């Protein structure tokens, strides 16, 4: 049975272990943004043994490149980007204690296995509803790689950011489950 819950960042192992694929979640606290260019730079720092510009342990990374903030707003449209582009980097960040990732689309087998091994979850944001997602952002500031423009790493202060758990710490996959339910209903 899908449930609804509210989480506050940073997330503990217990927080993510309680989640199941299909659960509706709202997140309050700090969430970091990063896309593939920023992930590549983070992994270069990890490989060099250099301190990262953001904390990883217990954090959530939202795969988004927000548009510029219109007058009177803290951020522009903030819809999710396709997550598979971060798949080459996600296992290393999960190993360092990343607890949550937010994006859209499926994840690779390697990322799902890393979520099980290191206790992380992948959550989907509402694709095509960037303006709605932006309403949950109460403050935003660039914290690294400003030269990347929309792909810079930002620290977002969010209140009740709505997401759905796609992959949980047990290896469950909401997308796969949905396809199986459809096949069973059809057959």
**Residues with a known catalytic role:** 39
Is the peptide bond between 10 and the residue preceding it cis, with omega within 30 degrees of 0?
Answer: yes
CA distance 183 to 83: 26
The token duo for 151 is 């792909």
DSSP 85: G
Question: CB of 129 within 8 A of CB of 70?
Answer: no
Q: Are 114 and 94 in contact (CB under 8 A)?
A: yes
């Amino acid at each position: 049975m899908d449930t609804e819950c509210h989480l506050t960042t940073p997330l503990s192992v217990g927080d993510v272990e309680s989640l199941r694929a299909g659960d509706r979640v709202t997140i309050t606290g700090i969430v970091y943004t990063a896309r593939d260019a920023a992930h590549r730079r983070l992994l270069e720092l990890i490989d060099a043994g250099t301190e990262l510009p953001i904390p990883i342990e217990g954090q959530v990374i939202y795969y988004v490149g927000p548009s510029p903030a219109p007058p009177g707003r803290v951020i522009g449209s903030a819809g999710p980007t396709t997550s598979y582009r971060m798949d080459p980097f996600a296992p290393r960040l999960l190993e360092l204690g990343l607890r949550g990732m937010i994006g859209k689309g499926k994840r690779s087998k390697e990322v799902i296995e890393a979520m099980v091994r290191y206790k992380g979850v992948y959550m989907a944001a509402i694709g095509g509803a960037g303006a709605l997602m932006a309403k949950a952002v109460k403050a935003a500031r660039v914290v690294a790689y400003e030269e990347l423009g929309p792909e810079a790493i930002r620290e977002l202060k969010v209140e009740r950011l709505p997401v759905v758990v796609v992959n949980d710490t047990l290896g469950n996959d909401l997308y796969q489950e949905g396809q199986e339910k459809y096949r069973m209903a059809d057959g």
